[in-house]
Amino acid sequence: MNASLTMVMPDDMHVHLRQSDMLDLVLADTVKQFARAIVMPNLNTPIISTKLAIEYRNMILNSLGKVKDGLKCFEPLMTLYLTDLTTTDEILKAKESGIVFAVKLYPNSVTTNSHVGVVDIFKNCYKVLDMLQMIKMPLLIHAEVSDSRVDIFDRESVYIDKVIIPLRKKYPELKIVIEHVSTKEGVDYVYSSPNFTAATITPQHMLYNRNIIFSGGLRPHYYCLPILKSELHREYLVKAATSGDKRFFLGTDSAPHDTKAKENSCGCAGCYSSYNAICLYAEIFDKAGCISNLEKFASLNGAYFYDLPINKQTLTIHRNENIVPDKISFKDLNIVPLASGETVQWHI
Ligand SMILES: [Zn+2]
């Protein structure tokens, strides 16, 4: 067993950095292990224009200035929040800005701050989709139906049948990322599409099955969307991620909420995995006997899909048993990191 592992510096292709004090609290964790990150646009005021994306990027760079040595080694890759009203001009503006790398599709009301999300993608967004296909800008999809009549564990597979399969027929060369894929059906869909389709996979969907949410009581810090699935799905995700297949890459979906919002009669969805994400992934790859494929998943596959250069920096992690802290804090904010209290075999 190697005592350490050096790889091309990873990228996090799906992260929620939030804003204000929360941004200041979480950014250092992302920066210590990732060279770049695809930053999600679902702030309280969603990032629906290039102008807002530039402002948000400046906010992140400003916060980065407070992180020691952060400025020289981290690049936030911004995204636009797709709405029924997004115009092709706005997409072109985003492309020309050089700072926006993708457009995020949230079905209306599916998760945190998705109230302005798309109601009918086929009726309201066809011009924008044509444009995205033409300029090769990826469409990132939260692939779940928001219809409350559909069982929460089936929302991804229903979305794939109802939206992604018809979408793919209409836009054969549109770059699509199924974000935080969580089911066998989702993975199988990606396997069935040789080009232009990829998926990010979170650590929580590979570390745990849904039993953890109810183990010994209700555990709100394991509640995320898409919700954790059964063991069959978990094993299937691990197999896809650790295979080295270029269509699967790292996206933590790290989504911090203050403990007051999580430990609540109506708690928010999201796991904070940025604290030690690369170590959690290393743990998963190690257990699967595929640690040699971690670099592909974490540092290469995503860059290829996004047509980005491979990072020049490297990251070394060490085999060093350690316990994940119960919480991390800043001012009056507290976050419980994913796997808190558990022993992890790797250390940054
Ligand atoms: Zn997310």
Place of tokens 């995204």: 79
**pLDDT tens for each residue of 308-347:** 999 999 999 999 999 999 999 999 999 999 999 999 999 9
pLDDT for 68 equals: 66
Is 111 a residue whose pLDDT tops 80? no
Compute, in degrees rounded to 10, the torsion defined by CA atoms 262, 265, 268, 270: 50
Q: How far, in Å, from the CA of 110 to the mean position of ligand 1?
A: 11
Q: In what order do the strands lie in the sheet with 11-15?
A: 11-15, 36-39, 75-81, 100-105, 139-141, 176-178, 197-201, 248-250
Model confidence over 216-252: pLDDT tens digits? 999 999 999 999 999 999 999 999 999 999 999 999 9
What would the pLDDT profile of 116-150 be if each residue is shown by its tens digit? 889 889 999 999 999 999 999 999 999 999 889 99
Find out whether 15 and 60 touch, Cβ atoms under 8 Å: no
Cβ neighbours of 273 (radius 10 Å)? 26
Report the C-alpha gap between 348 and 4 in whole angstroms: 10
Residue 76 has pLDDT above 60, yes or no: yes
Does residue 3 or residue 77 have the better pLDDT? 77
Q: Supply the DSSP string of 32-55, one letter for each residue.
A: TT-SEEEE---SSS---SHHHHHH
Question: What would the pLDDT profile of 26-56 be if each residue is shown by its tens digit?
Answer: 999 999 999 999 999 999 999 999 999 999 9
Which CATH number is 4-347's, of 3.60.15.10, 3.30.360.10, 3.20.20.140, 3.30.230.10? 3.20.20.140
How far apart CA 308 and CA 302 sit, in angstroms, is: 8
Angle at 182 between CA 179 and CA 188, to 5 degrees: 90
Percent of the chain topping pLDDT 70:
97
Task: Tell me what the pLDDT averaged over the chain comes to.
Answer: 95
pLDDT of residue 66: 83
The pLDDT assigned to 109 comes to 72
What distance in angstroms lies between residue 1's CA and the mean position of ligand 1's atoms?
34
**Residues 24, 29, 245, 253: which is the catalytic one?**
253
**Per-residue pLDDT at 72 exceeds 60:** no
Name residues whose C-beta falls within 8 Å of residue 171's C-beta, 6 or more positions apart in sequence.
Answer: 129, 130, 133
Confirm if 256 and 270 have CB atoms less than 8 A apart: yes
CA distances to 57, 216, 240, 270 from 117, rounded to whole Å, are 21, 36, 29, 18
Residue 112 has pLDDT above 80, yes or no: no
pLDDT band at 71 (very low <50, low <70, confident <90, very high): low
**Residue found by looking up tokens 């793919």 in the block:** 168
The answer to whether 298 and 7 have CB atoms below 8 angstroms apart is: yes
> What is the C-alpha to C-alpha distance for residues 81 and 49, in angstroms, rounded to an integer?
8
Active site residue 253: yes
What pLDDT, on the 0 to 100 scale, is given for residue 194? 79
Of residues 291 and 117, more confidence is placed in 291
Give residue 219 CA to ligand 1 midpoint distance, Å.
Answer: 20
Residue closest to 348 by CA, chosen among 297, 249, 280: 280
78 touches 57 (CB < 8 A): yes
User: Is the pLDDT score of 69 beyond 80?
Assistant: no
Residue-wise pLDDT tens digits, 209-218: 999 999 999 9
Considering only CA atoms, which of 242, 248, 268, 266 is closest in space to residue 256? 268
Q: What is the DSSP letter of 272?
A: B
Q: How confident is the model at residue 272 (pLDDT cuts 50, 70, 90)?
A: very high
How many angstroms does the Cα of residue 15 sit away from the middle of ligand 1? 6
